């Protein structure tokens, strides 16, 4: 049979399928670490459940800021690395809290990487294999009538639903395990095929006149008794009229892949029925409120979970098990929901026991047990239902994505298989050090990079305050996690892990016993990681943040100087900084005996804070 589809052959090192919160950091991390990457995203925008199509705010290990609340310089559990880079960028460039601006920023981040080819509206629908090893992926872009055959060394499934891995016959789990299977106290007495449901969200605004709402005839009818355990039209995060409601959930008793169209239709009836109740049944203070947007694409929580080299369980998380192959950390609660969703009117919409400490996520949970060059990141990683209930949130997915992408890049540039990491300890340590260099925090692991010259320097400062001595920039850790709800005390490495000046302006000096020729200088600044920071359409949630601007702790203006023959010469300078991690590539490197960082202004704080300085004589990525 003839086809209008035009065939194309493409080649890369790594194919990433899925451009959601896991896939974007995964692809960018792999590209920045030297791999040629193709990212296929089946929608016209990036971001998945965080995109303008769904509009869920990104949450993660900091538990929406509850871990670090009132604990500055003690419990800083917001994700670092690419997730922090994206959050800071979005805060500064999107004070209006436009959902489409996040789409744009993710798009820009991908387009900026020369090693990354972004293919929107392109879905991976099949694979070719040599034995169990994937050799090619088949992708379709129906909007342009194109079919792509993509050859790669490593394939990473970040699709959420696990389409790529399923096409390769990679084993996976669905549903909920029994208590007995993994010894999980919070699991079901008897396992079943039920899951978390999906959600449609809405946005609304208040006008200066009454705004009637005429509901379609097919909406569901709700009473206050139906919603007695589901806060609505009330003060608080995710409770107001302007944005809601994550608990508009349904479909956990169905197949969230095969039945997704039916789930969407029922969720529309539920979501609009709830708004109809708010507007037209009783006094909810909503007379002047009107819908400005609502979703048609269900925000899906759960479907396939692949079986990897390790299945992350409730006990791994609750006991804060240490993994030698950790590539990310989590910290969200064990967050389970009734599969009946809003129909479970006598059950609370969630059960969320808080995990006592942030915990490791191992690389082995991102590598297929049976398909040697298949990796995964996001909500489809190898975990039990209870384990997944914590790792599934989007900032954690992003952290795992960056870890998996970095490991994949290391594998292809060093000609090893992803399955080798389980036994190749040296390679695993290399990957972890790469992640630390890119400002990813790993519990209990510190900078041991032999090429970093900073630890070899004598470090002094023009002034410092208690708890913030100059030598703190070389502790090997870039955040404080020793406080309550931080890292386990045995692995927390107590301390502020930053230089804090006594006043401004202030300077930090690194002096070496012999001349060096610095080519790369990496700086990590304080960005208030004890606070929540994420694009949200909930007004009450945003009130907890410093949204719409740079974080007050962050160094804004500074100068890098090198001492040459007893004279200070400017090497580089920056004004208007708002990022946590800044990399300076010195165009005209010269021999110096000392490096001085002179801070003239922050974004609000009355003193300078620098968490880490790294100095390299060559590009550390090569």
Q: Which fold has domain 6-175+305-437?
A: FAD/NAD(P)-binding domain (3.50.50)
**Residues 385-413, mean pLDDT to the nearest whole number:** 98
Dump pLDDT digits (tens) for 162-176. 999 999 999 999 999
> What is d(CA 49, CA 494) in angstroms, rounded to the nearest whole number?
36
> What is d(CA 79, CA 391) in angstroms, rounded to the nearest whole number?
13
Q: Residue with structure tokens 């296929």?
A: 40
User: Are the C-beta atoms of residues 264 and 200 closer than 8 Å to each other?
Assistant: yes
pLDDT higher than threshold 90 for residue 611: yes
pLDDT for the residue 237? 86
pLDDT for the residue 54? 98
- pLDDT above 90: percentage of residues in the chain: 97
**Residues 23-27, mean pLDDT to the nearest whole number:** 98
SS3 annotation, 57-84: CCCCCCHHHCCCCCCCCCCCCCCCHHHH
pLDDT band at 588 (very low <50, low <70, confident <90, very high): confident
pLDDT for the residue 238? 84
Dump pLDDT digits (tens) for 562-571. 999 999 999 9
pLDDT higher than threshold 90 for residue 2: no
pLDDT for the residue 42? 98
> What is d(CA 316, CA 384) in angstroms, rounded to the nearest whole number?
11
The secondary structure of residue 357, as a DSSP letter, is S
Strands (DSSP E) contained in 295-350 are 305-306, 326-330
By residue count, the chain amounts to 622
Taking every pair of Cα atoms in the chain, the longest distance, rounded to a whole number of angstroms, is: 82
**Residues 580-602, mean pLDDT to the nearest whole number:** 95
Dump pLDDT digits (tens) for 283-329. 999 999 999 999 999 999 999 999 999 999 999 999 999 999 999 99
CA–chain centroid gap for 502, Å, is 34
Computed over every residue of the chain, the mean pLDDT equals: 97
**Residues 359-372, mean pLDDT to the nearest whole number:** 98
CATH code matching the domain that covers 454-616, chosen among 2.60.120.260, 2.60.40.2580, 1.10.10.10, 2.60.120.380: 2.60.120.260
User: Are the C-beta atoms of residues 432 and 326 closer than 8 Å to each other?
Assistant: yes
Q: Is 121 left (phi over 0), alpha (psi -120 to 50) or beta?
A: left
pLDDT for the residue 578? 98
Q: Residue with structure tokens 């709700």?
A: 222
User: Residue 189, Cβ neighbours under 10 Å: how many?
Assistant: 7
**Residues 502-517, mean pLDDT to the nearest whole number:** 98
pLDDT for the residue 1? 62
pLDDT higher than threshold 90 for residue 144: yes
Q: Which two tokens mark 238?
A: 């995710």
Dump pLDDT digits (tens) for 375-397. 999 999 999 999 999 999 999 99
pLDDT for the residue 107? 98
End-to-end, the C-alpha distance of the chain in Å comes to 49
Q: Residue with structure tokens 């002094």?
A: 460
**Residues 108-133, mean pLDDT to the nearest whole number:** 98
pLDDT higher than threshold 80 for residue 333: yes
Strands (DSSP E) contained in 536-591 are 555-564, 567-574, 581-585
> What is d(CA 390, CA 317) in angstroms, rounded to the nearest whole number?
8
pLDDT for the residue 18? 98
User: Residue 319, Cβ neighbours under 10 Å: how many?
Assistant: 14
Helix (H) or strand (E) holding 276: helix 260-280
Q: Which two tokens mark 98?
A: 């436009």
pLDDT for the residue 570? 97
pLDDT higher than threshold 70 for residue 433: yes
Using only C-alpha atoms, the chain has a radius of gyration, in whole angstroms, of: 25
pLDDT for the residue 112? 98
**Residues 145-156, mean pLDDT to the nearest whole number:** 98
pLDDT for the residue 46? 98
Domain ranges (residues) in the chain? 6-175+305-437, 198-294, 454-616
> What is d(CA 48, CA 297) in angstroms, rounded to the nearest whole number?
10
């Amino acid at each position: 049979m003839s086809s209008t589809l035009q065939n194309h052959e493409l080649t890369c090192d790594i194919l990433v399928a899925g451009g959601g919160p896991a896939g974007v950091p995964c692809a960018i991390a792999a590209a920045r670490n030297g791999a040629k990457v193709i990212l296929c995203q089946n929608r016209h925008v990036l971001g998945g459940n965080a995109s303008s199509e769904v509009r869920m705010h990104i949450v993660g290990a900091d538990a929406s800021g509850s871990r670090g609340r009132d604990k500055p310089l003690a419990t800083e559990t917001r994700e670092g690395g690419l997730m922090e880079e994206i959050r800071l960028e979005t805060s500064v460039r999107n004070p209006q809290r436009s959902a489409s601006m996040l789409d744009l920023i993710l798009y820009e981040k991908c387009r900026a990487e020369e090693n990354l080819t972004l293919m929107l509206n392109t879905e991976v629908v099949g694979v070719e294999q040599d034995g169990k090893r994937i050799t090619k992926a088949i992708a379709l872009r129906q909007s342009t009538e194109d079919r792509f055959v993509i050859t790669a060394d490593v394939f990473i499934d970040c699709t959420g639903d696990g389409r790529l891995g399923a096409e390769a016959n990679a084993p996976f789990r669905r549903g909920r395990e029994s208590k007995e299977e993994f010894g999980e106290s919070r699991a079901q007495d008897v396992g079943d095929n039920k899951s978390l449901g999906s959600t449609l969200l809405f946005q609304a605004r208040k006008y200066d006149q009454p705004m009637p709402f005429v509901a379609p005839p097919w909406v569901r009818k709700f009473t206050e008794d139906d919603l007695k355990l589901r806060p609505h039209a009330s003060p608080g995060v995710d409770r107001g009229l302007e944005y809601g409601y994550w608990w508009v959930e349904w479909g956990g008793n169905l197949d969230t892949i095969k039945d997704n169209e039916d789930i969407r239709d029922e969720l529309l009836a539920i979501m609009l029925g709830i708004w109809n109740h708010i507007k037209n049944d009783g006094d909810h203070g909503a007379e002047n409120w009107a819908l400005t947007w609502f979703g048609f694409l269900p925000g899906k929580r759960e479907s396939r979970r692949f079986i990897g080299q390790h299945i992350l369980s409730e006990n791994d998380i609750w006991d804060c098990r240490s993994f030698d192959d950790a590539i990310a950390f989590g910290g969200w609660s064990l967050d389970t929901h009734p599969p009946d969703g809003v129909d479970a009117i006598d059950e609370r919409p969630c059960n969320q026991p808080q995990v006592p400490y942030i915990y490791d996520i191992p690389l082995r949970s991102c590598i297929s047990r049976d398909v040697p060059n298949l990796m995964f990141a996001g909500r489809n990683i190898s975990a039990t239902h209870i384990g997944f209930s914590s790792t599934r949130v989007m900032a954690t997915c992003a952290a795992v994505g960056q870890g998996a992408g970095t490991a994949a890049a290391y594998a292809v540039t060093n000609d090893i298989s992803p399955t080798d990491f389980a036994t190749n300890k040296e390679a695993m340590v290399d990957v972890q050090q790469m992640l630390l260099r890119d400002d990813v925090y790993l519990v209990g692991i510190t900078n041991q990079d032999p090429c970093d010259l900073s630890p070899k320097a004598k470090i002094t400062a023009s002034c410092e305050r208690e708890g913030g001595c100059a030598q703190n920039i070389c502790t090997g850790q870039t955040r404080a996690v020793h406080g309550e709800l931080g890292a386990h005390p045995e692995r927390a490495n107590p301390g502020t892990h930053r230089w804090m000046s006594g006043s401004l302006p202030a300077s930090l000096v690194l002096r070496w016993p012999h001349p060096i020729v610095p080519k790369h200088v990496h700086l990590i600044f304080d960005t208030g990681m004890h606070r929540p920071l994420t694009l949200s359409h909930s007004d009450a949630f945003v009130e907890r943040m410093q949204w719409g601007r740079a974080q007050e702790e962050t160094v804004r203006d500074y100068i890098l100087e090198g001492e040459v023959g007893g004279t200070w010469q400017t090497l580089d300078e920056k004004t208007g900084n708002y990022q946590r991690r800044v990399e300076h590539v010195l165009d005209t490197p010269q021999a110096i005996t000392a490096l001085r960082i002179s801070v003239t202004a922050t974004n609000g704080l009355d003193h300078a804070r620098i968490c880490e300085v790294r100095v390299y004589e060559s590009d550390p990525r090569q």
